[in-house]
């Protein structure tokens, strides 16, 4: 790989990914943004969505990770995402998510339930992208 940027993705539980990559796409609070080597330094909150990792070719996604909130810091040489929750998209199962949605819709409505509904719906969207 001619040019790369160090990408680290962690949650409170563990370091989920740490490798030099060609590009990473992050769901920021103001929209999805791509990070390439030499990117201008910045910080952003992370929205619920999918982080796409391009390890050696900016045209080929090699890994997709669903994240729930957090913060991203970018410099010219690295990108670090500290997410509240990280789930590999390949481990998401449509049937389980649909069951979760049904249970949440059948239960009592409160702020926590509404947030869990949002997460489950975002997981389904991650499977269709």
110 and 121 belong to one structural domain: yes
Give me the pLDDT at residue 35, please: 97
70 and 101 belong to one structural domain: no
Q: 55: domain CATH number?
A: 2.60.15.10
In degrees, rounded to 5, the angle at the alpha carbon of residue 30 between the alpha carbons of residues 27 and 33 is 45
For residue 22, CA distances in Å to 2, 7, 12, 61, 117 come to 9, 9, 26, 10, 34
Compute the radius of gyration of the chain from its Cα atoms. Answer: 16
CA distance 129 to 117: 19
pLDDT tens column, 69-110: 999 999 999 999 999 999 999 999 999 999 988 888 887 778
29 and 67 belong to one structural domain: yes
The structural domain count of the chain equals 2
pLDDT tens column, 28-55: 999 999 999 999 999 999 999 999 999 9
pTM over 0.85: yes
21 and 73 belong to one structural domain: yes
Question: Which domain does 104 fall in, by range?
Answer: 92-128
Give me the pLDDT at residue 51, please: 97
pLDDT tens column, 17-34: 999 999 999 999 999 999
């Amino acid at each position: 790989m001619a040019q790369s940027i160090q990408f680290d993705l962690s949650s409170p539980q563990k370091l989920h990914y740490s490798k030099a990559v060609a590009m990473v796409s992050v769901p920021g609070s103001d929209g999805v943004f791509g990070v390439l080597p030499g990117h201008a330094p910045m910080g952003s909150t992370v929205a619920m969505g999918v982080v796409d990792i391009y390890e050696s070719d900016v045209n080929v996604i090699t890994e997709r990770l669903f994240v729930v909130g957090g913060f991203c810091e970018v410099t010219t040489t690295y990108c670090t995402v500290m997410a509240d929750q990280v789930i590999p998209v390949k481990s998401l199962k449509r049937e389980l998510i649909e069951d979760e949605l049904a249970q949440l819709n059948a239960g009592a409505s409160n702020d926590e339930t509404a947030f869990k509904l949002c997460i489950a719906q975002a997981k389904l969207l991650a499977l269709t992208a």
